[in-house]
Amino acid sequence: MKKYFVFLFVFLSLLPLCGCAERTYELAWDGFCYTAETYEQPVELDPKDKNYIIDILNNATWVNDLAKCPADFVFVTQRQRVNYNCESGVFNDITGGRSTTVSEADRLKINTILKNAIADSEK
């Protein structure tokens, strides 16, 4: 019987180590995407598009320096404000003071998502 308690104790002690990794970027409860010009009305994105962008942010390789490029869009997560430049595909994590550049394929997909969302909001 003692073996079972020892096994149970060891199992329960190791369980937190096997859990999911904490994600740095998580969706905010309300507005997620804004144009940098107005920063008033949120740009409505589909949930799958929001998750695509959040996944890019969480899986990116970040440099501990902000890139010198203007923001076209601002993404507000639960704990960060992240600016995005459409032309270069650069995300600047203003809160964390770091930046990343996405691949050309990701840049084109993100820009298409944002362009379509803006077009839908103007209808």
Rounded to the nearest 10 degrees, the angle between the axes of helix 47-59 and helix 104-121 is 150
Residue 11: is its pLDDT beyond 90? no
Q: What is the pLDDT of residues 83-94, one digit of tens each?
A: 999 999 999 999
Q: Are 78 and 28 in contact (CB under 8 A)?
A: yes
Tell how far CA 14 is from the center of its chain: 29
- Alpha carbons 31 and 11: distance in angstroms, whole number: 41
Give this prediction's pTM: 0.80
Q: What is the pLDDT of residues 12-43, one digit of tens each?
A: 565 555 555 568 999 988 889 999 988 788 99
